[in-house]
Chains A and B, each alone.
Chain A
């Protein structure tokens, strides 16, 4: 196994390098360059545009630019953004990445937490009314036009009920002299979430000694609840709790929107892969043994069926750092999705490349995680 991991990491390096080259070539192939947009302003003489082009390094030969760029990436220097000149790319990403990651991480987790059990449920109850109702609801939300859903949510919760502002990730009047920046709050929230997730995963390990499944499940839940409680207290006493709460409050609507839209995908995927397993011989055996339905469903069927669902979910996690253009636009949540889109449209090559680099590394690593997980989930698979 270790050899396998080592071999994969080597592959990741090669793939990443190919990726960089491929992206560079595509951007070079794009017509025009960043300075073209200044053509539309008669006040800016051609000499000024030329000076800008030189400063941004757009006038060297293609090969020179390529070498310069590759060298920079491997030394960790992501360059200077054209649009936000002279801010560094890393600086811009540092500002936008935390709020994107937190939002989409929470939404992805919730969508999975909703889709996974529902998928199991409707697979088991195939053909009944509840199956149809849940399926239709899932598909409906999956195929609803996203901006429409966003506006409905905003209208109901922001205008009619007045619970939320109509956009943004914080309330300006509360943040006039904050002791901490929103980026830091987002980072701390990410840490909290990851910590709780780790606790949950670890709780499986910690409670394995307990014999019976029921008390074991409760012990696990107890541990997680304890973790939550501690986190809550820590935030409350940290002095920045109210700031964190303001941000979390603003997260409600976009998270709700994304969860509703995506839970159907996980749910249906889970259902379909469960159905593959459902008529397997070992399930029939388990039923013949007289094991309770729930145990068969969860312990035997679901674990194998998890494979495609987990694959989908894990790789999907890689894309939380690339955000979602529609969500970000509709909820005024300026994140990596819009940053990347603007960078590409304006041919701000360093910034676009920076965004892609993050997504690239994360997705490549997560793919490795998924491959390793296979071996754990289905003992018949080995490397």
Chain B
């Protein structure tokens, strides 16, 4: 019997696909095993649900005149705003009569957009550049490091003021600006430091000798080994982005109508922040939301520890 009759020749792409799916399943199993990874993912899914639920609620159960996060107002409770939680308002109302839960849910969308987008952009750029600089050194390294210096020192607020006067600075554009700026900045220096420790390891030398191209080495050896740090930076950056937006909104530098940061700021400027116990629904929900979301990203990053670094897997 000839071999060509017995063995089915599959097209290459099918083989690659099968391998990819298998690898995905294995990674998912590892991720699931870590237990905290899925916990983080679960929290993120919860927020996604919040985000999706809001327009549904607004279209069905909630009367827009009362529950609109920005211009809503509850006449029934006139004189008692900020009102404590009740059946009609599960998280109470804010000092100008708007439903807190509605604000929280509506803002989730912006926080995701802002936090996740800018963090993703930052981390992707930072990881790539860090790896490239560490591997190649020389002129490339010099250029990007000096660029990083310049970007780190960049007067961000001045830039915002300039941009704001020429374009409408909505969330996506802000996320883009923040993401790119952070991406080329300090993160590259730290990730490069980490990549350097990887680069000098013997197996890199071995891979070079074996004929691996620069692209191959960077993609398969260096980047996976700095990815845990990249994930950590995802958390740093999501937190950073959300906080930066909150502080900038506080100083009136942004044109965003509602966000978790603005919710806390409204509470603070109306003077309710200092009375923690009494008016807790004004700061606890947005504060907890910020902490939970950032925490969730950290957990996911931790869960990906073993996926990315095979040496950490139990043998």
Contact = CB atoms under 8 A, between A and B. Distances in A.
A–B contact with Cβ pairs below 8 Å: the answer is yes
Contacts of A326: 247
B194 A378 contact: no
Secondary structure call for the A interface? helix
Contact of A275 (B161, B274, B309): B309
A367 B268 CA distance: 38
B146 A308 contact: no
Nearest to B153: A360
A273 to B, nearest CB: 6
A275 B227 CA distance: 12
Contacts of B159: 26
Given A367-B145, A380-B200, A381-B200, A279 B312 contact: yes
B82 interface: no
Contacts of B158: 23, 26-27, 30, 344, 352
Nearest to B242: A143
Chain A, interface size category, equals 35 or more
A374 B193 contact: yes
Secondary structure call for the B interface? helix
Contacts of B154: 22
A272 B232 contact: yes
A61 B311 CA distance: 62
Given A31-B165, A344-B155, A381 B150 contact: no
Interface stretch (B5-13, B68-76, B287-295): B287-295
B153 A359 contact: yes
Nearest to B251: A341
Interface residues of B, number: 55
Contacts of B191: 308
B149 A311 contact: no
Contacts of B243: 145-146
A303 B232 CA distance: 20
A169 B113 CA distance: 39
Contact of A276 (B225, B247, B286, B298): B225
Interface in B118-170: 142, 145-146, 149-150, 152-155, 157-159, 161-162, 165
Contacts of B239: 142-143
B189 A370 contact: yes
B197 interface: yes
Given A19-B153, A356-B155, A26 B162 contact: yes
Contact of B311 (A147, A152, A279, A378): A279
A144 interface: yes
A114 interface: no
Contacts of A18: 150
Contacts of A22: 150, 154
A269 B232 contact: yes
B196 interface: yes
B287 A308 contact: no
Contacts of B251: 325, 341, 345
Contacts of A31: 161-162, 165
A315 B152 contact: yes
A324 to B, nearest CB: 10
Contacts of A276: 194, 197-198, 225, 228-229, 309
16 contacts: A14-B146, A19-B153, A26-B162, A29-B162, A31-B165, A136-B295, A139-B235, A142-B239, A147-B268, A151-B274, A269-B229, A278-B312, A311-B193, A345-B157, A352-B155, A364-B149
Closest 3 CB pairs of A and B: A279-B311, A380-B200, A143-B294
